[in-house]
Chains A and B, each alone.
Chain A
């Protein structure tokens, strides 16, 4: 007979290792402009790493809602931190990290698009260039962080929860 308990108490398993690992991945991937081209994949990856780290660290099996919760929190932390860094650099040095790459990516899309949509895209690029940091931008960023972390984290966390099941159920 195994000495392993049937259920592990979640209070004995702090989230910190998972949040740090997943948050770090989400931070690095969202700070650089590739996140625009890869949809919610960077955040799904961050969430996946967060939940996987938690499962492997404590050798537990998680409930779906808890696995998703760790992943979403890690994405919120990582993406939130990268947004703060982006804003600080923008305010301090008037430099937007990865902005030129993003503009060249959009310009490439506008060039290949048919005239009406291509022109609209070029107009929106001009608007982006003239955009200054204000309360509206900040509020929009907060909503974006919540929305993107919720979707990406939920996908990554759910996948990691069902793929990795180590030992007893944690509740």
Chain B
């Protein structure tokens, strides 16, 4: 049933807290990436060496050197942080599950895969900004998909708020 609390109202306090943590950790990660690039810290670049190929012409340049991750990875991290921030800052207490989120995530993942594959096989040459944009869309849709599909037990106050907001059905 669509009016069921587990399916319909999902942005509970626990999820909002998770979104806050996600925003904070993501911001720290992005700040660390900028600091490492600005100061050209070799130690920082080797920290991220297992997470990304770090090919310099595929990375954004900031200050003394390029970022420690490529533009696509940077886009993904930025999108994930942005997705958490959107979930945290929006004022709606109740979200309706939207099956389109899964489709959007699938399209974003497929777009990244095709972009990577077409370039790998030499069909076309992508640009740093297209990679970053596709990564951003993937990261943001991933976070929103995960947050909107998470089932959380609501406390009494939240249940009351939901029952007041949800329209009566059938």
Contact = CB atoms under 8 A, between A and B. Distances in A.
Interface in B111-157: 142, 145-146, 149-153
Contacts of B52: 39-40
Contacts of A125: none
A132 interface: no
Contact of A64 (B29, B57, B70, B146): B146
A8 B131 CA distance: 43
Nearest to B32: A147
Interface in A126-142: 140
A66 to B, nearest CB: 11
Interface string A134-159: 00000010011001100110010011
Given A114-B57, A161-B150, A148 B51 contact: yes
Interface of A: 30, 35-37, 39-40, 61, 63-65, 105, 109, 113-114, 117, 120-121, 140, 143-144, 147-148, 151-152, 155, 158-159, 161-163, 165, 169, 171
B93 to A, nearest CB: 18
Interface residues of B, number: 27
Contacts, number: 69
- Most chain A CB atoms below 10 A, which of B50, B53, B153: B50
Nearest to A113: B57
Nearest to A146: B47
A162 B57 contact: no
Contact of B53 (A36, A63, A152): A36
Contacts of A113: 55-57
B151 A121 contact: no
A105 B49 CA distance: 13
A29 B65 CA distance: 30
A162 B150 contact: yes
Contacts of A63: 14, 150, 152
B142 A64 contact: no
